[in-house]
Amino acid sequence: MAESGETDWVSRFADEVISQAERRAPGKPIVCASGLSPSGPIHLGNLREVMTPHLVADEIRRRGLECVHLLSWDDFDRFRRVPAGIDESWAEHIGKPLTSVPAPPGSSHANWAEHFKAPMTAALAELGVEYRGISQTAQYTSGAYREQILQAVRERARIDAVLSRYRSKQVEDYFPYKPYCDLCERDLTTVTAYDDETTELAYTCECGFGETVRLAEHDRGKLVWKVDWPMRWAYEGVVFEPSGVDHHSPGSAWIVGGQIVGDVFGGEQPIGPMYAFVGITGMAKMSSSKGDVPTPADALEIMEAPVLRWLYARRKPAQSFKIAFDQEIQRLYDEWDALGRKIAAGQGQPAELAAYERAVGTAAGPLPATPHPVAYRTLASVVDITTGHAEQTLRILADLDGVGSLDEARPRLDRAQHWVDEHLPADQRTRVRETPDEDLLDSLGPGERESLRLLADGLDDWSLDALTTLVYGVPKIQAGLDPDAKATPELKAAQRSFFALLYRLLVGRDTGPRLPTLLMAVGADRVRKLVGA
């Protein structure tokens, strides 16, 4: 959470971007940019590449200024490797553009790139991210960059001089353009000759093919990455584009691109904060078919869009953070709900308020919200205990929180259901006993029997508050204390023992969901039966 009085990082970048845009291109739409390679699953770390400029662009739009967020799909990049779980025969496509590689087996998409773009596109729509997508395959093959390519080739000695400052050994005959072979479609090519006047370019390929083409007309190749990126900064007039930590080491694309963009293309490097790592907690049950790390689509199955937006909005780009797929998601939702109550009461700090407002809506309007947001941990307990039975779930939620229909609790209810189904370990699932544990009941001493009788006698007041008071109050009554008495270490120990006994009798384990919720889900009659009252 942002500290009290801390300036909102999005506003700071927006101020800087607006100032730079007014100097660079007054009167023109302000350009923020992101780039994603659909070479495999686009994961939650990659999402920071999009969310950082999205939040800044959205703030600029909120101020009434025209701002476009460009999202470059780097789908003309080469296919580098066959991921785990994919037929090894796909190795024959290594070196082809991603848009020329068949989609994974069973996919309905036209090619490899489209297969991995699709879930990200859907997730960005759900997150309210407004952008203009650009296919680099379309840009290169349409000749959009023809003049820029010719300019880079003319200035290849200057580019080579910049790159050589960071190389440990010299490269002979440096050439910044890589043709894709016209026969095998791969980039296993070597430029063997080039004529600056005619733009005739000769290349050979490892497949044995070779040809001479006119670069001024060629559209089956691309600039190498360290030249391609600064070329696009100048071509699009990008003022803001973040990048990952790997791009900021000496000799990296960001460092050399900052020199090439001005020297070769007459542009300026964008304002470009470095963003930190996004970690994941609780990766159990993630299938290998989804890749090594979860995607935004995976996260949106277990949390609402505003909560996922909030995780990216509240942390400065340079701060790392983790996204929870384990029990931590319940604590995250508790924090989110507490912030909502704090802001509704007019007590939020400025940075907290800014992050919250950026989470729940954009310049275009509010994002969909759950009409009756019951605590996530409560929903998870209820759907776990009821195994998703709709009528039982509604009965409990109506008693618990006055929910009139399950639709009032959606989409949060559906997110909690998915989390329980996919991410709650089997040994933590709740299975209420069908019959009393007679052996355990027979082994109990007088004090334990009395505690169960006190519980059974108090079950008539059937509300969550009353049940909470009851389960914490039974050990107090047994100790001769007032129900409102403060807990001592001895009392806490007695409460823990009582809770463990109830869990063993109700679900056959020492722990489980919060007891008041569990009692409400099981029902008074069944509780009395299972505790032998």
Tens of pLDDT, residue by residue over 311-361, are 999 999 999 999 999 999 999 999 999 999 999 999 999 999 999 999 999
- Is the pLDDT assigned to residue 462 strictly greater than 80? no
User: What separation in angstroms does the CA of 305 have from each of 141, 302, 343?
Assistant: 36, 10, 19
Three-state secondary-structure class, residue 140? helix
Q: What pLDDT shows up at residue 284? A: 45
State yes or no: pLDDT of 461 exceeds 80.
no
pLDDT tier at 34 (50, 70, 90 boundaries)? Answer: very high
Q: Is the pLDDT of residue 485 over 60?
A: yes
Res 285 pLDDT > 70: no
Same fold, 9-146+224-275 and 438-530: no
Domain assignments of the chain as residue spans, ordered by start: 9-146+224-275, 169-222, 370-429, 438-530
Position with higher pLDDT, 117 vs 5: 117
**Residue 171 confidence (pLDDT):** 80
Q: Is the pLDDT of residue 517 over 90?
A: no
- Provide mean pLDDT across the span 455-462: 86
The pLDDT score that the predictor gives to residue 56 is: 98
What integer best gives the mean pLDDT of the chain? 93
Handedness of CA 58, 323, 346, 468 (dihedral sign): positive
Least confidently predicted of 1-15, 25-39, 74-88: 1-15
- Looking at residue 84, its pLDDT comes to 83
Q: Is the pLDDT at 287 greater than 80, yes or no?
A: no
Share of the chain above pLDDT 90, in %: 81
Residue 5: pLDDT over 60: no
Please write the tens of the pLDDT for every residue from 376-408.
999 999 999 988 889 989 988 998 889 999 999
| Strands (DSSP E) found in 159-304 | 177-179, 189-194, 200-205, 210-214, 221-223, 243-244, 274-275, 278-281
Write out pLDDT tens, residues 141-178: 999 999 999 999 999 999 999 999 998 887 889 999 99
State mean pLDDT over 241-255: 89
Instruction: Select from 3.40.50.720, 3.40.50.620, 3.30.70.2700, 3.30.360.10 the CATH code of 9-146+224-275.
Output: 3.40.50.620
Burial of 294 (0-12, 13-18, 19+ CB in 10 A): buried
CATH of domain 438-530: 1.10.10.350
Beta bridge partners of 201: 194, 213
The pLDDT assigned to 291 comes to 54
Residue closest to 507 by CA, chosen among 420, 440, 430, 424:
430
The per-residue pLDDT for 214 is 98
Give yes or no for residue 105 having a pLDDT over 90: yes
pLDDT at 290: 43
Q: DSSP states of 73-86 as a string? A: E-TTSBP--PPTTS
CB crowding 382-416: b at 16 or more within 10 Å, else e: bbbbbeeeeebbbbbbebbbebeebebbbebbbbb
Least confident of 5-14, 19-28, 206-215, 403-412: 5-14
